[in-house]
Homo-oligomer: A and B are copies of this chain.
Amino acid sequence: MNILVLGGDGYCGWATALYLSAKGHKVSTVDNFARRQWDHELGVQTLTPIRPLAERLKTWHDVTGNHIESLVGDVTDYDFLASAIETTEPDAVIHFAEQRSAPYSMIDRKHAVSTQVNNVVGTLNLLFAIRELRPDCHLIKLGTMGEYGTPNIDIEEGYIDIEHNGRKDTLPFPKQPPSFYHLSKVHDSHNILFACKIWNLRATDLNQGVVYGTLTDEVELDEALINRFDYDEVFGTVLNRFCAQAAVGHPLTVYGKGGQTRGYLDIRDTVRCIELACLNPARSGECRVYNQFTEQFSVLELAHLVQAAGRNMNLDVEINHLPDPRVEAEEHYYNARHSKLVELGLKPHLLSESLLDSLLNIAIRYSERIDQSLFMPKVNWRNAHNERRAVTAPVATMVSAGGNGHNGD
């Protein structure tokens, strides 16, 4: 299968590109290295020392004999994107090429606008390019569980049957996204659903939970293939950050009461879910929605799991409750369906002590690269402007309303 991975140099994109290449698919990647640029902007870096994409791909070829073509450009540049589609003739396009951090989108107006414009225009361009150049190609789009917010009813997979005043319909599940980033994904979802309807495109919208872990079978083949491991307050996902904090004796930063409950999954399940979507394409005209996660946890539950795993490794792990820098319910009902990918064949890697050990060991291994000043939240949802530029001198606390981050996504 010809597969084009947009955002192939990012955290999920890189793991996916290698996995699909290992499975024998002809994989090409598109990336403009925006994710690396945001690291420079914020003065942060991945815990793991990732290599430049060209070196990563050369290593992949050396180790496996598999070739992954890299196309460098921006999906908001239609001419570039169209040429990428024409050149690679994809059967499936996997779209990771978006700004994916909620705190990043909440820094200030420019970051909110750039996130929404980047994500919405990239996806619109992709819809038009597929319609014009490759109408039978299957679009696999990464959405987020965050699109749903935390309603007081069960969350279904994309659509809900509603009976109202004696009449019935199946309608898009109402969305209550909690950041300008999550909003951009909701905008995308509406645009994709419409494009499928008017142009008979095929799409799978994967509402992914918070991803943890960094190792997949493929990146373990060689140190030069190592994947990102973000632990900072802007791009770090919560479990990765907790492990980095535990590794250096920093208290785990729980935002508020920590009752914020979300769906989570191992990055090894991310790549498998994408493969399952590829192998089982949506029908022409169908915009299918899967909830892509395997387990629900509250932030405090995760903190306790890390604390327990740390204890076994003789790490003394404290838990700090900080004022929540986000505007969100700190305690709430949460029950989201996630059976469709399991029905297609997903065998979840559930969060276990051995995985936590592995994560903690990675964090310990690279602990000299940890900058503790990046743990504390500096982006407060209540402010229209947050100072989040890199500082040259370490500062103990720059917290405007405190916080212990649950997820970058």
Residues of chain A whose beta carbon lies under 8 Å from any beta carbon of chain B: 78, 109, 112-113, 116-117, 120-121, 124-125, 128, 131-132, 151-154, 160, 162-165, 167-169, 171-180, 183, 186-187, 190-191, 193-194, 197-199, 327, 333, 381-382, 384-385
Contacts and interface: CB of A to CB of B under 8 A. Distances in A.
A194 B174 contact: no
B194 A180 contact: yes
Contacts of A153: 162-165, 167-169, 171
A177 B194 contact: yes
Given A78-B109, A152-B169, A327-B197, A117 B121 contact: yes
Contacts of A190: 175, 177, 183, 186-187
A198 B116 CA distance: 18
A154 B167 contact: yes
16 contacts: A112-B124, A113-B125, A116-B120, A117-B117, A117-B120, A117-B121, A120-B187, A152-B168, A153-B163, A153-B165, A154-B164, A172-B176, A178-B194, A187-B187, A198-B327, A198-B381
A103 to B, nearest CB: 13
Contacts of A193: 176
Q: What is the copy number of this chain in the assembly?
A: 2
Contacts of A179: 194
A382 B169 contact: no
Contacts of A385: 132
Given A117-B117, A152-B168, 11 more contacts: A109-B125, A113-B124, A117-B120, A152-B169, A154-B165, A171-B174, A172-B176, A174-B174, A178-B194, A183-B187, A183-B191
Contacts of A174: 160, 162, 171-174
A80 to B, nearest CB: 14
Nearest to A154: B165
Contacts of A124: 109, 112-113, 116, 180
Nearest to A169: B152
A188 to B, nearest CB: 10
Shortest 8 CB-CB contacts between residues of A and residues of B: A171-B174, A152-B169, A109-B128, A153-B164, A198-B327, A187-B187, A131-B384, A153-B167
A77 to B, nearest CB: 12
A180 B197 CA distance: 12
Contacts of A167: 152-154, 333
Contacts of A151: 169, 171
A154 B187 CA distance: 24
Nearest to A194: B183
Contacts of A78: 109
Nearest to A131: B384
Contacts of A128: 109, 112, 384
